[in-house]
Structure 1
Amino acid sequence: MVVRFIMSFLAALALNIRFDIPQDMNHLASESKMLNIFYNFQGSLTGTMAAATMVFVLLCIIDRYLYKNKGKVHRTPVLFLICFCIAVVWVMGESFYRVNSLTLLHMGAGQMVKTLVYVTGITWFLSEMSALLDLFLQSGWDWLPKKKVFFCDAYNKHPFKVSVLVLFVCWLPNLLLSYPATMCIDVWNQMLQSFGFQRFTTHHPPAHTVLAGAFERVGLLLGSANLGLFLYILFQIILFALILGYMFYTMKELASPTWLKVTAFIIAVSSPYYTQYIGMIVKDTIYSYFILLFVIELVYILLLKQEYWKSKKHCFLLAASMIGSVLFRNNGKYVIYPMILCILITVFLQNRNQRTDQEENQDTSCIRKKSRRTRYTKTFMTAVIVCLISVAVSSGVQNFLTRHYNIEPGGIQEALSLPFQQTARYVKEHEEEVTQEEKKAIKGVLAYNKLGKYYNPKISDPVKATYKKKATTKDLTAYLKVWVQQGLKHPVTYIEATMNQNYYLVYPLVENSTVYDTTAPDKVSAKKLAEKLGVHEVPVIQKLDRWRTGFNKVFFTLPVFGLMASMAFFNLILIYLCYHGIRKKIPQLFLLVMPLLLSDAIIVLAPVIKGHPRYAFPVIYSMPIVFCTYLYWAGKKNQ
């Protein structure tokens, strides 16, 4: 009991520690370490004693409740290890957020003690929250209205139609406030390419560039450039409403608890990641919609098994989701292609297990065995054909667009963002250790003299821009050899470069609250194109949209509601599901979370995540259906 009391106290301290070095600590640097620690702590605790005490009391109450139900709570060493790893990332985030390095964690005895207290306290706090969530899910509690509610009755009778209609009505004000459409510089570059003012490249997915340009041309034919942009976001909102309606239909089929459906609906109609981005033209939103559709189809593959491949509707939706994911994001193939292999392995194992079960429980005559073997072979071949058609169509469209528009292919540098960022940080921090041979190898690929100056710990694009397009395979091989050697010399530098850019993925205490609310571009060439096409903002709508943006900025900071707009929160839930999928022996869950894990891995390898939360939309949009499916399988396990 004493140990739990101390751990709750450390957790309360950790939640109230600020890692900045107190301003009056300089004159104490030469004093004893104990004085350093005491004064450092005194100047680093945020808030008031009363607030910290309230946090401590609340944690003690939670711990007492969990202790009373210790027979139902399972906190294994693996859980504590996972929580410890997350706590380490959080404490790294505390330092990166302030000084873009880990120096705050070990600069003096006081800082080191704060680091130890923080990691210990946050590890305990995360384990408590995980246990509390697990206990809540085991309770089977659900919220149900005592009286009949029209909306609930209508949803139960027509879940898909009602969901689509209500979502569209709730989103309609946001759609109108976005008129003609919200656009960022990426989209304007695509428009410049589509209308021939820039070289057409594969830096942005060609299919999306052509699609956005096609809607704009339709608007011009109808006499209004604004109308073309608005037609695009209208198409986008209808597509998203249909896919989310399909998700809510599936959640009903899986007997999802009401609290989860209500929470998912509130998030969909209130979170800025939904409401403000549905009116924005950008490749990441439509790509995320197709990933969500793909995840929903994975649910049906796992539940229906052989019956799935007999349904033309499901086969069509699966193919559409894979084709859309590959066409509308350049890295979509790195999610879909590995998943195709996973799907085929899953279908093969399902067929084998089904055949084994039937041979054990039914007549094993040669005729019936042959019939079943033929049926299972047909099922597997159907899966193969659907996957091959999806790959062929997406590749065919890509090749056709490349030839038709004479598109310039992208360079290898797009896949080397992370190594380039690590090299730049190495040169910035350890330039005196770089040998002439290493410098020569780096110069063959990057502008060595600019690396230290251009290095930005949050984004690798400035460093990547120094890539030399004339670099040969030999040059790249020599560079990668040096990259490995330098990583072995200073692995902490490489870790810092990686974590400094990506800690936002699981660190919820820093808001990644970027939203867009303008059509007008800042780029000179884009302004000229907008003027030539006749794209313009409506002052009244623009003013109202500014108010919406202000509200959404506040939304990110609100308690509870702010979590609905936190990519880190959704990724922490993903980690929780992975852990309990292992603990409860639900292997099929990993096929479902695999596209989300691959999406996170791509973010780590990508140029940036800070200021670009849209890259994490596949995880954010898919989490409700993944969580619902986990509850379905966990419930079956308990039964």
Structure 2
Amino acid sequence: MTSKTNRPRVQTLRCLLSVAVGILCAQSLAFRNVDSAAFDNFANLTAKGLDSIAQFGPAGSIALAVCLGVLFYRFYPNFNHAGKRDQLISAILSFFLALSIVLPRLMKLPNVSFDSYPNYVGGAPQWHKPIFWMVASVQLLTIGFTLAVIVCWLMHKATDFVESRNTDEASTAIPHTNLSIWERGIRFFDGKPKHMTVATLTMVLCWVPMLIIQGPAIIGVDSMVQLVQFRTGHVWDPMTMAELPGYAGQDHHPFFDTYIYGLFDELGLWLGQEILGFRILIALQSIVAAFAIVVSLVWIKKRTNLPDSCICVCWCLAAVLPAFPMYMSIVLKDSTWVSIFLLWMVAFFEVIYRCNNNQAVGWKLVLCLVVLGLFSGLTKKLGIYVTTVSLLLAIIAVRKQFVAFLVSMLVPAALVIGFVPIAVLPALNIAPGGPQETISVPIQQLSKVAILHQDELSKSDRQAIDKVLDIDHLKPYWQADSADYAKHYGYRLNASSSDRKNFILTWIRLFFRYPKDYIAAVPYLINPFVYGDTYYYSGPVRCGWWEAGGSQILTEYPECGLSYTQGKIAIPLTNALNKIPPFSFIGSEALYTVWLPLVALGFTISIRRYRNLRYLIPIAVSWCSLLLLPAHQARYTLSFLFVFALTLAVPFVQVLTNERNISS
């Protein structure tokens, strides 16, 4: 115990430490690698560092340093008095969080505009220079130390929430005459149909202004392919541009989505104005998305100890954050699929909850998982793999309700992966998607190795590669930011399944010879895991494939042209949201793909609710799926944004058995 005479000295030291950490952390956040010359000498480093800090302006830099210093001063006692276990958890967690901030400021980002905060055009990393590692270490230590203090305080609060909620539930029998705003708001998440309807429609009303600003619609390039093929009957492979005569469509993009978008296109034409069909589609998918979010909050209210205020804040965030309506205004498979996946996640959470608490899993819940898993796979091909693998891992982790899990896993997978390509696509005269899509990353990595080390490869390796890829034709077009170029210009259409099998075996074997080249070939794979891109997005009404018939879709709108509200409001608003730090943070992709899942993982371990780690299985599977994608776009991680409330609630899910819940 600190004596009274030493308290002023301790407080003074704490204050000085907070000031130093605040200044260093603010400078670390502000510093950017403007170009490779930044690390040539100390003078350049100082000049570039000051230039970076100047981007905030004097007032901004001081305000950032003061805020960080105050946070550190306020929360440090909790970290200082925490147990070694919690300190270790918060330190490990904060290291990875800090790494997601530091990496974009030291790495080259050539395709990002300078005025899009927090992305900055940078130079090539100077890995070989000690001063580079010094700067990286200072940034990691100061940002990580500050985050560790905050995370440790949050873990302390999480434990208090769980304990106080149990006490509050014991006193709920006492009627309250003066209800707080949170007590009034939480009633809309009690599961009653009328309350859920009000919460859903209110959220949609909050989205309406952004839907109007983004309007009348945003039709992505992929959707334009589907609409052109549905409308004109001109069928071709959009990756290789090879004609597919005799077919009524192609399943490169899910055929189920093609029929949905095509039918709403026809509805608009029948109503006398083509755009009306897409407006109706956007309204419907917005209602379904809002309903799915409300359902997730209802589940959280019933099954977790998360405070009522946090549940209401989650609803408010989903209602006011522009990212949600921005993606609902897009006619694209990701926007159509994400609501179905969120509902599947709720059903998955409910199954895990019942297994954790030794409760029966009824056939209705199994049927719900089957139906939602089926539609998840039909609207987005990757969806069926995420749901199937998640259920398989759940069988291994839970070891209960084997039949329920098995049925929920096998039926959708058998229908989507087996029955659809064997029976449905031939019956509808739809060509299957190109097999190169499933090996995008191996194509990207092995093509780079073949370009750089062709003379070093054995004859058998060159043959295995040449049967799948035309390296000579591909070489001038190869780019590191996407595997689409390698697939488009290099993939041989006559490659057999045996050729692709040998190709994959060669890819696995050569990884151990050229690991650096493999990593350098796919730099975009790190983008979802670092602090940079945001979910704020706007675009033209229609764009792409005019030469193949796209000009017949929405003829009243120019090719790649913006509507009045998109050009005057949506684009400037998107740029502003990306530049302003508070909004750029809450809209950041990494906040939802990295920060929330890692915080949920750390908090769950901290309060020792180990069974709750099972809820994070789909998150882990989704992480792995991101490493198989041909390129990076924020829409590929849209599921992380929509399941944010469920992710946040994982540490607080009730465990009704005798397992020890709270750390001593």
Q: Is TM (by shorter chain) over 0.5?
A: yes
1:404 matched to 2:427? The reply is yes
Name the one with the larger helix percent: 1
| 1:497 equivalent in structure 2 | 521
CA distance in structure 2 between the partners assigned to 1:483 and 1:286 by the alignment: 34
State how far apart, in whole Å, the 2-side matches of 1:597 and 1:383 are.
18
SS of residue matched to 2:579:
coil
Tell me the equivalent position of 1:155: 188
Secondary structure of 2:581's aligned partner: coil
Where has structure 1 moved over 6 Å in runs of 4 or more? 1-9
CA–CA separation in structure 2 for the residues paired with 1:86 and 1:452: 37
1:359 is matched with none
For the Cα contact (< 8 Å) 1:508–1:567, is it kept in 2?
A: yes
What secondary structure is seen at the aligned counterpart in 1 of 2:251? coil
Corresponding position of 1:20: 34
Shift in Å, 1:98: 3.7
Q: Deviations over 1:274-328 (max 9, x none)?
A: 111112211111221111111111222233346553363x344322221111111
46, 53, 58: which one pairs with 1:47?
53
User: Is contact 2:531-2:591 (8 Å) kept?
Assistant: yes
User: Which deviates more, 252-261 or 76-85?
Assistant: 76-85
| Equivalent-residue separation in structure 2 for 1:509 and 1:392 (angstroms) | 38
1:149-548 aligned at under 5 Å gives the runs 152=185, 155=188, 158=192, 159-177=195-213, 179-195=215-231, 196-199=233-236, 200-253=249-302, 254=304, 256-305=306-355, 307=359, 309-310=361-362, 312=364, 314-345=365-396, 348-349=399-400, 381-382=403-404, 384-394=406-416, 395-397=418-420, 399-427=422-450, 433=456, 438-465=461-488, 466-498=490-522, 500-511=523-534, 513-519=536-542, 521=544, 523-530=546-553, 536=557, 542-546=563-567, 547-548=569-570
In 1, Cα distance between the equivalents of 2:655 and 2:268? 50
1:194-217, CA deviations, whole angstroms, 9 ceiling, x for partnerless residues?
231214222111111122222223
- Aligned twin of 2:81: 71
Cα RMSD, aligned residues only? 3.8
Fraction of identical pairs, as percent: 19
Report whether the alignment pairs 1:118 with 2:139.
yes
Q: Is the Cα–Cα contact under 8 Å of residues 344 and 373 in structure 2 kept in the other structure?
A: yes
Maintained 8 Å contact 1:21/1:44? no
Stretches of structure 2 that go unaligned for 5 or more consecutive residues are 1-12, 112-121, 166-175, 237-248
Deviations along 1:130-185, one digit per CA (max 9) or x if unpaired, are 2243244345399x997568962762665422211211222234444555532011
Q: How many Å apart are 1:87 and its aligned residue?
A: 4.5
Which residue in 2 is equivalent to 1:637?
Answer: 661
Contact 1:208 1:328 in 2 (8 A): yes
Moved more, 332-341 or 395-404: 395-404
The whole-number CA distance in structure 2 between the counterparts of 1:154 and 1:481 is 57
CA distance in 2, matches of 1:568, 1:21: 24
In the aligned structure 1, how far is the partner of 2:259 from the partner of 2:563? 27
Deviation at 1:605, TM superposition (A): 1.0
Distance 1:344 1:501 in 2: 33
What is the CA–CA distance in structure 2 between the aligned matches of 1:281 and 1:215, rounded to whole Å? Answer: 11
C-alpha distance after superposition, 1:228-252 (max 9, x if no partner): 2223223212221221221222233
In 2, distance between residues paired with 1:386 and 1:479?
Answer: 33
| TM-score, normalisation: structure 2 | 0.78
Q: Supply the distance in 1 between the matched residues of 2:338 and 2:76 (Cα, whole angstroms).
A: 41
Inter-partner Cα distance in structure 2 for 1:473 and 1:160: 50
Q: 1:596 to 1:514 in 2, by over 3 A?
A: same
**Deviation of residue 491 (structure 1)?**
1.8
Deviations for 1:557-603, whole angstroms, at most 9, x for unmatched residues? 33333223211011211122123333433333333221122122212
Cα distance in 2 for residues equivalent to 1:541 and 1:420: 35
Task: Report the CA distance between 1:187 and its aligned residue.
Answer: 0.3
- Is the contact between residue 194 and residue 210 of structure 1 (CA under 8 Å) also seen in structure 2? yes
* Contact kept? 1:12, 1:121, Cα under 8 Å: no
Unaligned runs of 5+ in 1: 30-35, 352-379
1:75, 1:127 within 8 Å by CA — same for their partners in 2?
Answer: no
Output one character per residue of 1:108-150: Cα deviation in whole Å (capped at 9) or x when no partner.
44334323333333433443342243244345399x9975689
Decide which of 101, 104, 108 is 1:93's aligned counterpart. 104
User: Closer, same or farther in 2 for the Cα pair 1:432/1:259, shift >3 Å?
Assistant: farther
In the alignment, does 2:661 pair up with 1:624? no
Q: Secondary structure of the equivalent of 1:97?
A: coil
The answer to whether the 8 Å contact 2:155/2:606 transfers is: no
Distance between the aligned counterparts of 2:597 and 2:183, measured in 1?
A: 34
Q: Distance in 1 between matches of 2:368 and 2:527?
A: 33
| CA distance 1:321–1:294, shift in 2 (3 Å) | same
Q: One-letter code of the match for 2:30?
A: N
Which residue is 1:371 aligned to?
A: none
**Cα shift readout 1:12-70 (whole Å, capped 9, x = no counterpart):** 44223222347698xxx6xxxxxx23542343342258865665554444344343223
The code of the aligned residue for 2:602 comes to: Y
